[in-house]
């Protein structure tokens, strides 16, 4: 059992152990990457390093955990084992195109989703430039749209891109690179729970989380799993 994380491998193991794990401390004690990170690794004031932030990309690349803004519009992980039920519930049984056809998604959502799907993956800067976000006369609301698509599980963070110095050494904050989870893990893996009613997926997740978080009320857990 993993208690404290000191590497990307530890982080992945902790996510697999929990199934669902927000990145930041929240209303459920002990239910976050932050609380399982030794304080000296959460932020090293001498080097300026934030070790867990540098581990997110490697964990996403390992292919057994899905990363994105999934909980309360903030970052977190869901194991690939539980992601099909999570996606089935959050999507309410809709693939993105079907959601748009039923007028449940906006045109802004569609153009951003389609851009990522067309290219396989795109980082934040590429998306903003391609779709005309930012600047004095550019479109507004990029963060709202990209967060909504993650909360609905249509897009996830595939990795983080870093600037490099003249020696090829990466530095600075990583820039999120987005992809549809189907492009990362395969359509069949992501939609494996589509045969269940979304309510059944919710019930399965609730039963599991009640065991992991026995002090939490069902109402609070439903709010965690809801949009």
Q: What is the DSSP letter of 196?
A: S
Q: What is the DSSP letter of 105?
A: S
Q: Can you tell me the distance from the alpha carbon of 134 to that of 105, in angstroms, rounded to the nearest whole number? A: 22
Q: Hunting for tokens 């990457």 — which residue is that?
A: 33
List CB contacts of 139: < 8 A, sequence separation 6 or more. Answer: 108, 131, 132, 133
Mean pLDDT per 10-residue section of the chain, whose length is 227 residues: 88 97 96 92 62 89 96 97 98 96 96 97 95 89 97 96 68 85 97 97 98 96 94
Nearest residue to 84 via CA among 135, 166, 153, 163? 153
pLDDT of residue 154: 98
pLDDT of residue 136: 82
Helix, strand, coil share of the chain (percent; to 5): 50, 20, 35
pLDDT of residue 135: 82
pTM: 0.93
pLDDT of residue 214: 96
């Amino acid at each position: 059992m993993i208690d404290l994380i000191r590497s990307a491998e530890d982080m992945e193991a902790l996510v697999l152990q929990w199934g669902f794990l927000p990145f930041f401390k929240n209303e459920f004690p002990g239910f976050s990457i932050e609380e399982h990170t030794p304080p000296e690794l959460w932020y090293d004031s001498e080097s300026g390093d934030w070790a867990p932030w540098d581990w997110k990309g490697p964990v996403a690349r390992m292919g057994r955990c899905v990363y994105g803004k999934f909980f309360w519009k903030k970052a977190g992980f869901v194991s690939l084992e539980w992601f099909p039920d999570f996606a089935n519930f959050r999507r309410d049984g809709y693939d993105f195109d079907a959601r748009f056809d039923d007028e449940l998604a906006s045109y802004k959502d569609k153009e951003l989703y389609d851009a990522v799907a067309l290219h396989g993956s795109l980082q934040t800067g590429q998306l903003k430039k391609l779709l005309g976000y930012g600047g004095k006369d550019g479109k507004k609301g990029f963060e709202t749209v990209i967060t909504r698509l993650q909360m609905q599980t249509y897009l996830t963070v595939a990795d983080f891109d870093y600037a490099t110095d003249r020696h090829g050494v990466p530095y600075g904050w990583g820039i999120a690179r987005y992809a549809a989870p189907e492009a990362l893990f395969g359509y069949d893996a992501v939609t494996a729970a589509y045969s269940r009613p979304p309510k059944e997926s919710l019930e399965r997740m609730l039963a599991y989380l009640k065991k992991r978080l026995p002090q939490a009320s069902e109402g609070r857990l439903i709010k965690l799993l809801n949009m």
